[in-house]
């Protein structure tokens, strides 16, 4: 069975004070939480999150570079994340692709580096509104997967979580219908079976992301091929985050 995984993505939000307040509210609830959960946060907040929460709470960076060291002003490597006790990272979020020139090629390089270093990853894929309206969404997403997973070995691929995030649903309040999200996640799973094996396709976790909130999380999570959610806006407030991670209570 695939254990559900709900991760908040704070993007460029939060302060040390806000992390402490968030942890005070969320920590007491965690003993009753039966799914995997955690937060992806800006580099400046990672150590505080790590210190404020117990080990089972997952703390993700929002990006890393594929080189180990060097002249890459403003970047952070896998070794640097590991150095502060962070072993998880989001790769290829659509905002990284849109604003920071991330491509399937760099996403692939980052996934390869993370695999070598034993860093856990969530890799994000998703289509734009024009691509969906043109009926190209399956082709686009499945070919992203082909490129993103190029030369990634099965034993490494099985530890990667795939987040399907249609770009038109991110931060817009427009959620894909649970049926549309399920349809894509099913295609993603089939694609993983053809790239790797049925075993891998059965075990790999697929999240949906895009305007997930307490009001719709249960319905989304009830879909057979959706194993989790990557949540932006609704993960910032402790009250909403608690509602998300206890959706099954």
**Residues labelled catalytic:** 93, 165
- The distance of closest approach from Cβ of residue 137 to ligand PGA in the complex, given in angstroms and rounded to an integer, is 17
Distance CA 216, CA 233 (A): 14
- The distance of closest approach from Cβ of residue 10 to ligand PGA in the complex, given in angstroms and rounded to an integer, is 10
Residue nearest to ligand PGA (CB): 232
Partnered with residue 176 across adjacent β-strands are none
The residues of the shown chain that bind ligand PGA, judged by CB under 6 A, are 9, 165, 170-171, 209-212, 230-234
Partnered with residue 88 across adjacent β-strands are 120
Distance CA 119, CA 111 (A): 9
- The distance of closest approach from Cβ of residue 249 to ligand PGA in the complex, given in angstroms and rounded to an integer, is 21
Q: Which is nearer to ligand PGA, 52 or 240 (CB)?
A: 240
The answer to whether the beta carbons of residues 108 and 144 sit under 8 Å apart is no
Q: Which is nearer to ligand PGA, 201 or 207 (CB)?
A: 207
DSSP per residue, 88-149:
EEEE--HHHHHHS---HHHHHHHHHHHHHHT-EEEEEE---HHHHHTT-HHHHHHHHHHHHT
Partnered with residue 59 across adjacent β-strands are 39
Q: Which is nearer to ligand PGA, 53 or 92 (CB)?
A: 92
- The distance of closest approach from Cβ of residue 231 to ligand PGA in the complex, given in angstroms and rounded to an integer, is 5
Q: Which is nearer to ligand PGA, 8 or 104 (CB)?
A: 8
Phi and psi at residue 117, in whole multiples of 5°? -90, -5
């Amino acid at each position: 069975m695939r254990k559900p995984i709900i991760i908040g993505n704070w993007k460029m939000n939060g302060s040390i004070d806000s992390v402490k307040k968030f942890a005070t509210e969320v920590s007491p609830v965690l003993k009753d939480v039966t799914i995997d959960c955690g937060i992806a946060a800006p580099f400046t907040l990672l150590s505080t999150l790590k210190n404020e929460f117990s080990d089972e709470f997952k703390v993700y960076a929002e990006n890393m570079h594929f080189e180990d060291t060097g002249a890459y002003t403003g970047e952070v490597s896998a070794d640097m994340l590991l150095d502060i006790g962070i072993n998880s990272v989001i790769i290829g979020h659509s905002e990284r692709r849109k604003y920071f020139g991330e491509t399937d090629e760099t996403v692939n390089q980052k996934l390869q580096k993370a695999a070598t270093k034993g860093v856990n990853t969530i890799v994000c894929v998703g289509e734009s509104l024009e691509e969906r309206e043109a009926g190209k969404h399956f082709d686009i997403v499945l070919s992203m997967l082909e490129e993103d997973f190029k030369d990634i070995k099965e034993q490494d691929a099985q530890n990667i979580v795939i987040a399907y995030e249609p770009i038109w649903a991110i931060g817009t309040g427009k959620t894909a219908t649970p049926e549309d999200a399920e349809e894509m996640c099913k295609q993603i799973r089939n694609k993983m079976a053809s790239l790797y094996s049925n075993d891998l396709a059965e075990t790999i976790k697929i999240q949906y992301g895009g305007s997930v909130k307490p009001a719709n999380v249960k319905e989304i999570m009830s879909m057979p091929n959706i194993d989790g959610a990557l949540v932006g806006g609704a993960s910032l407030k402790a009250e909403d985050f608690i509602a998300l991670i206890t959706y099954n209570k």
